[in-house]
Structure 1
Amino acid sequence: MVIYLPTATILVVTLLGEDTIIEYIRRAKMLIGLKELILISLTFGQAISRSTDYCYAENDQPYLKFGTKTAYTFIHGAKRPAQNIPGCKPLQIWMLTRPGTLYPDAETISKLKALPKLRDQITYNHDTLGYGHLCDLDLENLRIWRIDSAMTMEKAENLVPQGTEDLVLLARRLKTHLPELFPPTVSDVSERNYKFRSTAGEKTSSSLKAFMSGLFDQWQMPPTEAPMNNTQFASHLTCPEWRDEVSNNPEAMIEVTRFKSSPEYQNLLTNVSRRLGFRNNITEASLNAMYDMCRYEKAWTLDAISAWCAVFSLEELKILEYRDDLTEYYKYGYGNKVNLRMGCSLLQDMFRQFKKLESGDNASEPKGVFSVVELGTLELFIAAMRFAEDSTPLLASNYQSMSKRLWRTSEIGSFAANIQAVFYRCDVPEDPNKVIFYMGEKPVPYTGCKVGLCDWDDLKSRFAKTLSDCESNFCNANSAFSSLVVPTVLLWLGLPALALSSH
């Protein structure tokens, strides 16, 4: 191998491997002060370029499942046909929805603000030191990348434009799929026909307003305020046992800790560090910041490339997705038995609403009950319903064998993730009441149900003990769901916030 220098000096390097040659080049640059060196292979007579792992910018089918920061557009089941169950009529829909696509929280924004400095080090590693393995296109995208100026501390956890669109389009599809439940004119819209609820906070109240505008886009909606009491929608936050056993218990996340020590995860750290031109492994904080920027940017702008996604290979993105799944599984899912009791109050609310319909007299009941809640609340309800339950628990040691797991946060916990339960009255005299469940607009293949159509009486029997335990729940025995939720429709109409009856 010969390296020609403009000074006519010839440096002969024994080919001991790529890293050895790169180190000689680096030292030669520093010694002579040159910006460029031309490497010519005596054997092939061709210029040798920097080796690359792959080129993300040229990937026509990138991996789009980013755990809890996945764009809803990439995973929802919007292509399902309009509801048409022979001999059955929908009477009511009960629905839980996570907020749409958001800006990060304040703590994450602070960490993402450090990325320009990291970016500059990565480009320096490639351009000046000769280290790193990003392809030219990916490196150029990173070089010209600028942090979104709209992502300020004041916008922390606020809805982004794509988040508003998530909820508006979700509502419009719902009207198309269940036209019997939505009036053709706004004159039929009333507080009696529809109940809208949310937890406190800008992201939930804005998401609720976006969803309402998708349902009734002819209405002019004045600014609203979200209810201030989260006790019922987030009962785990006020539950001493959940805090002790899960939230404040490091042992609850032991499988996540073990996974981060696994060969798969440690190899990820090494490979990403090498790809970016670092001789030592980057910190976990740097890894998380790059991953977060990748998935946030992809959720904000669906048809654009995030320069930071080029940092990771396909397999590495799957490993990080599994890390997310493990975290949510043990914090809000089946990984801790305490979690299975935390969705009790919302489960009870759904059954209470449907029970009023079973006699056949539904004239005085709402056609829709809609609630926007935090992700943790949605996941706790999923666990209470025994949706997305794997026969094998998620562990640090079984990543490879759990590739087809049901508890996949990209699918069940994306931005705007939702659960829909629709109550039907059917022409079946002996058992007329049926319920269908949807997650992300996809029918839930629920045990004991025929093609997703569940017998109401069977559901009551299945959850009888759970519902009974709700009455003496160890966290909120004295709370009444009705007294904790403000009817947003009243706020929407500009009326004072009042306590809502259980009706």
Structure 2
Amino acid sequence: MHIIHSRMCWRLTLVAAFFSLICCCYCSTSHICKGVEDDTPVNRLSSKTAYFNAEKDESHWENFKKEVWGCTAQQMWLLTRHGTRFPTQTDMGRMMNVLPSLSQQIEVNHRQGRGCLNEEDLSQLGSWFPPYGPRDKEQLHEIGYDELFSIGEYWRDMFPHLYNVTYDPARFKVDFTVKNRTGQSAYHFLRGMFGEDAVGNIELPQPYNPNFILRFYKACPRWLREVYKNGETYKERKLFEKTEEFQSVAHAVSARLGFMHPLTPGEIESIYDECRYETAWWPSRKSAWCSAFSSYDFEVMEYHQDLKYYYEDSYGHPLNSKTACRTLSDLYNHFRMTISKEDAKPQGIFYFAHDKTIFKVLASVGLYRPSQHLKHDNFAELRNRKWRTSFLSPFSANVAFVLYRCGLEYKIGTFFQGQPTPLSELCQGVVCRWEEIKPWLNENNLTCNLSKLCMMHDEL
């Protein structure tokens, strides 16, 4: 009898705990629902931020104009990330496996009185079907066409004496990686710069692999081993998932969607990714998936992404910036030949690559270096940081170096997202004098040995 009585008490205790949990969840859900914003922070969606939504620093224009007064642009070297795209095969497979069943369960949850979504969001999720298929993977989206077209127009209008001209393959160099989306980006950029009629007659080059200027990291065994495939690279991100900040987001997102159990990090990331993609693709329409997150939650999720890219591609590992040395050597050699008049110069060098290329080149020239390393436990201290993936590498992110002739001397103007940007670690002012930056670029060029750096068996 004593044993039976003990089992009954144990079962009653479990039932009481279960109902207590339900009551607690309902109570906290009421509070959590108040934190949901109507608007998605479209400029804070990490590397899936659309170019038209991305933050751009316009604060240096006044000083820039003073420093290049009387100067004439001679040549531009431009590196651009591909435009807004469809998901990769990995992301697409993960989202297609997770989201259809989640959308149905979310609707059931709300019909049972749990969750925070309004009727419009529920209607959108109830009829939700993946807006992509296997054939779309990694391809440029239509909004990506518009981004690159707009960037081409922007530079044509900025330097009409260089680019408001008839396209001549001897005067322009174009290159891109073997991925379709970079070739498509090049096409639409040239369409914006030279016009619809001209672009049809432009013969684009054949991409090649390995490309040591635009996709050097893929051909670097040491980087692949020590950074990309090294678990230590992702240690801070994994630790962040255990912090109170991230756990509070997991609880809040789960409760807003009506779940009585916390969703897994993978499920939350799938919801977050779909929210980000749909926001980039359809700027005038809010994605119902975004309604799972408050403004604070988006900050936490952005930092979660930042911890990945910071160590995988930027200042978090010293090898990242070093692997971009061949890219900077290309920049240096083009400008050097133009200044010394050694060879017929192209007026524009236009490269189209990936976010990893952008991150590494920015780190190489010291742009947006944070005051301290991003860590799992300093999110609160770094909420106003400048190094954030949403700012540094949205879709169509671009960095340009422009060679100006100013009387008898030359200057280098740096533009990030089309805005003048000081290279404060390399020179004074917004614009660098060639004599200031030349020694650093020349040293990089002389010491750049990817075979040795990457521990390759064969010479490049």
When normalised by structure 2's length, the TM-score is 0.86
1:244 partnered with 2:247: no
Aligned length: 429
Deviation at 1:466, TM superposition (A): 2.6
Instruction: Write the distance in 1 (CA, Å) between the matches of 2:205 and 2:342.
Output: 30
Instruction: Write the distance in 2 (CA, Å) between the matches of 1:423 and 1:62.
Output: 36
**Matching residue's letter, 1:343:** A
Aligned equivalent of 2:335: 354
1:96 partnered with 2:79: yes
1:193 partnered with 2:171: yes
Deviation at 1:469, TM superposition (A): 1.5
Deviation at 1:439, TM superposition (A): 1.2
Residues 305, 479 of structure 1: CA spacing in aligned structure 2 closer, same or farther, 3 A cutoff?
farther
Tell me which of 373, 378, 383 is aligned to 2:358.
378
**Matching residue's letter, 1:90:** A
Aligned equivalent of 2:454: 475
SS at match of 2:386: coil
Deviation at 1:453, TM superposition (A): 0.7
Contact 1:421 1:435 in 2 (8 A): yes
Higher alpha-carbon deviation: 453-462 or 131-140:
131-140
Residues 51, 144 of structure 1: CA spacing in aligned structure 2 closer, same or farther, 3 A cutoff?
farther
1:273 partnered with 2:254: yes
Deviation at 1:183, TM superposition (A): 3.5
Instruction: Write the distance in 1 (CA, Å) between the matches of 2:169 and 2:297.
Output: 49
Deviation at 1:479, TM superposition (A): 6.1
Instruction: Write the distance in 2 (CA, Å) between the matches of 1:144 and 1:237.
Output: 40
1:110 partnered with 2:93: yes
Instruction: Write the distance in 1 (CA, Å) between the matches of 2:454 and 2:122.
Output: 52
Aligned equivalent of 1:155: 136
Identity rate, percent: 28
Deviation at 1:56, TM superposition (A): 5.5
Instruction: Write the distance in 2 (CA, Å) between the matches of 1:479 and 1:446.
Output: 33
Aligned equivalent of 1:262: 243
Higher alpha-carbon deviation: 447-456 or 409-418:
447-456
Instruction: Write the distance in 2 (CA, Å) between the matches of 1:230 and 1:78.
Output: 34
1:456 partnered with 2:437: no
Deviation at 1:141, TM superposition (A): 3.7
Residues 108, 145 of structure 1: CA spacing in aligned structure 2 closer, same or farther, 3 A cutoff?
same
Contact 1:64 1:70 in 2 (8 A): yes
**Matching residue's letter, 2:105:** Q
Question: Structure 2 stretches of 5 or more lacking a match?
Answer: 1-18
Aligned equivalent of 1:71: 50
Higher alpha-carbon deviation: 130-139 or 227-236:
130-139
Residues 400, 79 of structure 1: CA spacing in aligned structure 2 closer, same or farther, 3 A cutoff?
closer
Residues 141, 334 of structure 1: CA spacing in aligned structure 2 closer, same or farther, 3 A cutoff?
same
Contact 1:194 1:367 in 2 (8 A): yes
**1:40-439 matched pairs, under 5 angstroms:** 53-54=33-34, 58-59=38-39, 62-75=41-54, 77=56, 85-113=68-96, 114-128=98-112, 130-148=113-131, 151-184=132-165, 186=166, 189-217=167-195, 218-221=197-200, 226-232=206-212, 233-359=214-340, 361=341, 364-427=344-407, 429=408, 432-439=409-416
Deviation at 1:101, TM superposition (A): 0.4
More helix by share: 2
Instruction: Write the distance in 1 (CA, Å) between the matches of 2:265 and 2:275.
Output: 15
Deviation at 1:327, TM superposition (A): 0.6
SS at match of 1:396: coil
Which structure exhibits the higher relative contact order, with contacts defined as CA atoms closer than 8 Å and separated by 6 or more residues?
2
Higher alpha-carbon deviation: 160-169 or 109-118:
109-118
Contact 2:144 2:185 in 1 (8 A): yes
Contact 1:55 1:134 in 2 (8 A): no
Instruction: Write the distance in 2 (CA, Å) between the matches of 1:379 and 1:78.
Output: 17
Aligned equivalent of 2:419: 442
When normalised by structure 1's length, the TM-score is 0.79
Instruction: Write the distance in 2 (CA, Å) between the matches of 1:57 and 1:144.
Output: 23
Contact 1:55 1:135 in 2 (8 A): no
Question: Structure 1 stretches of 5 or more lacking a match?
Answer: 1-15, 24-48, 481-503
**Matching residue's letter, 1:434:** K
Contact 2:187 2:199 in 1 (8 A): no
